[in-house]
Amino acid sequence: MAENCSHDCSSCGENCPSRDAASLKKAPHPMSDIKKVIAVVSGKGGVGKSMTCALLASVCQNKGNVTAIMDADITGPSIPRMLGVNKRAMGSENGILPVVTDGGIQLISMNVLLENESEPVVWRGSLISGTVLQFWTDIIWTGVDYMFVDMPPGTGDVPLTVFQSLPLDGIIIVTTPQDLVGMIVQKAVNMANMMNVPILGIIENMSYVKCPDCGRKIPVFGESRVDATAMEYSIPAVAKIPVDAALTEAADKGKIETFENGYLTEFFDKIVAQLKK
Ligand code: ADP
């Protein structure tokens, strides 16, 4: 242990036995109350991670749980638009409050903090990671049963910061049939093992297109390998979301919360069952 140990490993370069994964965790705002935290990750951008995260949070909220989304995708924040949020976050003397969607989801995102949401965020990685940490430490989250963290794609600075600093209860991986799913899952599994966080489920987005005439599921982007991959890595829950023009429209119109589809209902129940174990 360093001579003048402050017990804050994040501000200390010493490599001593007290530096373990648990010691890097950050405390949330003293007025926050967050029961479970789930990170939604993907190997690359554009696979529909944010859309899936918004959909999953909507299922969660519609089932009567107090739900929150932390949009950690600082440079590409698309969740507010998908949930029809145009408001800006407000501060109180105690801290910053998240915005609340029409359906009641608490949400923080770079877009609800920027004065002009079309402003690009051109920051270095360390500043971005710091902002994500502040989403955890400076925002007052009230009575949250489940918080979903929309992670930036890949395994860069921000995902690492989130893994190290937030008390994650589990991870959900989003892929598409074109992905090198085995490699992406392997990376996520390695990261999850390193941080001692379970992988709760995997979602294959754009899995198929449903023929409007006969209802047959056509695997336009190739045959799905998600079931085999989930089995290989003992991932308990699997969901498949089709390419659905109604979903694109709902996302574009900010109506994901009220989009009735059932794509993730069963999946969500399986996730919750694991968290209750
Ligand atoms: P990511 O977060 O992985 O970069 P997004 O969630 O922002 O990707 O999705 C990219 C775009 O693709 C969005 O416009 C979204 O509405 C659309 N999209 C995602 N999944 C589907 C789907 N299954 N069917 C139709 N459109 C989809």
244 CA → ligand 1 middle, Å: 10
Q: Average pLDDT, whole number, for the chain?
A: 87
Ligand 1 near 42 CB (within 6 A): yes
Residue 82 alpha carbon to ligand 1 centre in Å: 10
220 and 243 Cβ atoms separated by less than 8 Å:
yes
Per-residue confidence at 4, pLDDT binned at 50, 70, 90? Answer: low
Query: How do residues 184-235 score in pLDDT, each as one tens digit?
Result: 788 888 888 888 899 999 999 999 999 989 989 998 888 888 898 899 889 9
Atom 6 of ligand 1 has which residue's CA nearest to it? 48
Q: Tell me what pLDDT residue 266 has.
A: 96
**65 C-alpha vs ligand 1 centroid, how far in Å?**
25
Question: By alpha-carbon position, which residue is closest to atom 4 of ligand 1?
Answer: 46
Q: Is 139 close to ligand 1, i.e. is its CB under 6 Å away? A: no
CA-based nearest residue to 26, from 167, 139, 123:
167
Atom index in ligand 1 nearest the CA of residue 245 equals 25
What does each C-alpha distance from 109 to 71, 142, 203, 224 come to in angstroms?
5, 16, 23, 32
Give 112-116 contacts, CB < 8 A, sequence gap 24+. Answer: 112/80, 112/85, 112/87, 112/88, 113/88, 113/89, 115/88
Q: Is 75 in the pocket of ligand 1 (CB under 6 A)?
A: no
Whether the Cβ atoms of residue 129 and residue 161 lie closer than 8 Å to each other: yes
Name the residue of 206, 248, 255, 259 to mutate for ligand 1: max ligand atoms within 8 A of Cβ: 248
- With CA atoms as reference, report the closest residue to 25 among 141, 155, 98, 133: 133
Instruction: Report the SS3 class of residue 44.
Output: coil
Output the pLDDT for position 113: 84
Q: Are 117 and 79 in contact (CB under 8 A)?
A: no
Atom of ligand 1 nearest to the CA of 241: 23
Contacts of 18 (CB under 8 A, 6+ apart): 1, 5, 7, 9
Q: What pLDDT is stored for residue 8 in this prediction?
A: 57
d(CA 146, CA 109): 17
Homologous superfamily, domain 29-275? P-loop containing nucleotide triphosphate hydrolases (3.40.50.300)
What residues are paired with 70 via a beta bridge? 108, 149
d(CA 114, CA 237): 36
Atom of ligand 1 nearest to the CA of 244: 24
**C-alpha to C-alpha distance for 271 and 259, rounded to whole angstroms:** 20
Residue with CA at minimum distance from ligand 1 atom 17: 248
Per-residue pLDDT tens for 54-96? Answer: 999 999 999 999 999 999 988 778 899 999 999 889 888 888 9
* Burial status of residue 161 (CB atoms within 10 A of its CB: 0-12, 13-18, 19 or more): buried
Pocket test for ligand 1, best of 42, 51, 253 (most atoms within 8 A of CB): 51
